[in-house]
A and B are shown apart, each in its own frame.
Chain A
Amino acid sequence: MNGLRLVFQREFMGYFATPLAYIFIVIFLFLTGLTTFYLGQFFETGEASLKNFFSFHPWLYLFLIPAISMRLWAEETKSGTIELLMTLPVPLWAVVLGKYLAAWGFALVALALTFPVWITVNYLGDPDNGVIFASYIGSALMAGAYLAIGSTISATTRNQVIAFVVTVSVCFLFTVSGLPMVLDFFSAWAPQALLSVIASFSFLTHFDAITNGVIDLRDVVYFASLTGAWLYANGLILEMKKAG
């Protein structure tokens, strides 16, 4: 646990030691505002809810989360610090989890800083705050799942650009797998059971369910198990690299 805590601390502080954290947070807040008020027509809708705010989160995360995750392992591999880290007396799982939790914690800071929009909607009307709270939980879980995918892909390369591009692509598939553009490709030949499996892998389906105000255990389990599975793969990849 000591190792996990220290790796987490070092990584988390690392974000704020460089301009990265501030630039990321400013851009994230700017884009959430832009999408909510212009694309989402927050005022024109005339409804006291944050549905317009949350509905853009999957699409913002699709590009912004890989920007956080791309450096997680690729940078350490390139600079050689991975050799230092992996020869310290810290178990592998603690390093993987510590780095991941620091990245997630950072994403949560950015998400938490969107609170003015929650205050605004309460000032303007009488929204269902339970739904908003559930949506924040859903958004946090979804960000975590994107990050786990990104962390694992970052461990496969020393090139951050490759990590970014591949992560965006894989995350895109996970995001849209419930939409017709993916399902149509399978519907002609695949059995219905397979179609439902593919559709059930969609971030959108699960996130929408949560933003409707119901934190269903199934959606939580979905995001948590997906995150767990990717992080497990992350550890396996590092073990494989060790074996050469």
Chain B
Amino acid sequence: MIEVEALVKKFGPLITAVDGVSFRVGKGEVLGFLGPNGAGKSTTMKMITGFLTPTSGFARVLGRDVTLDPIGVKESLGYLPEGAPAYPDMTPREFLLFISGVRRLEGAARGRAIDVAVERTGLGGVMEQPIDTLSKGFKRRVGLAQAILHDPPVLIMDEPTDGLDPNQKHTVRRLIAEMAPHKAIIISTHILEEVDAICTRAIIIDRGRIVADATPAQLAQRGKLDEVFRQLTTGDLHEGRP
């Protein structure tokens, strides 16, 4: 459902943030995007979701090219950007109403979609509080609710569990696992245990290139995951743009 082919992103003549990344993600797969900070995980996601234009290569979602049909691609995916940005002056209810309007959910379907997303993310208690005043965990859940609101076939989440406490992490992972059979999902993380917990496949990316593409079980055969990760990646030597 997601096809990425020889994707390259350069910032200026000197920085190559993503350098020829190719992969496919099918229905029922949860792809874990692993890599040190600045490896190109976020940049790759930003190109698939149409926030950045690739320097070369292409990204397709449900067969639609994101450069040629950006609106079509954006309609069929849910995206949680890094840091889960949301408008601070709105309450979660206002925010989700805005998003549901943009997603063309109307009437009863609109209320139902919001109810389902709120229930799944456990936002019930804070719906009338300005997002500004919410804790980091709740802000993240507002971002998640926004991404899953229209029940998209494709979900892309940039560090969905970053900054959450262990209970919240568990909830989010369970939520992803629940949705997994019906969707194609990409999550980025630098928490290695997360790969074992929810991913059906892991890609390790370093300096903009894919250095490993395997199932968690295959990676486990090569040794402990954090050791494999250290062998394959080079740490902070090269800091790309976020």
Contact = CB atoms under 8 A, between A and B. Distances in A.
Given A17-B89, A242-B51, A2 B101 contact: yes
Interface of B: 9-12, 46, 49-53, 55, 71-72, 74-75, 79, 81-83, 85-90, 94, 98-99, 101-104, 146
Contacts of A181: none
A217 interface: no
B180 to A, nearest CB: 22
Interface of A: 2-3, 6, 9-10, 13-14, 17-18, 79-81, 83-84, 86-91, 242-244
A87 B74 contact: yes
Given A6-B101, A89-B71, A244-B55, A80 B50 contact: no
A186 to B, nearest CB: 37
B74 to A, nearest CB: 4
A80 B83 contact: yes
Given A242-B52, A244-B52, A80 B81 contact: yes
A151 B208 CA distance: 34
A244 B9 contact: yes
Contacts of B89: 14, 17-18
Contacts of A244: 9-12, 52-53, 55
21 contacts: A2-B101, A2-B102, A2-B104, A9-B98, A10-B87, A13-B94, A14-B89, A14-B90, A81-B86, A83-B81, A83-B82, A84-B81, A84-B85, A84-B86, A87-B49, A87-B51, A87-B74, A87-B79, A89-B71, A242-B52, A244-B9
Given A84-B81, A244-B10, A89 B75 contact: yes
A78 to B, nearest CB: 10
A13 B101 CA distance: 15
Contacts of B103: 88-89
A6 B74 CA distance: 17
Contacts of B75: 89
Contacts of A2: 101-102, 104
A86 B46 CA distance: 10
Nearest to B74: A89
A83 B74 CA distance: 12
Contacts of B102: 2-3, 6, 88-90
B186 to A, nearest CB: 14
Nearest to B101: A6
Contacts of B90: 10, 14, 17
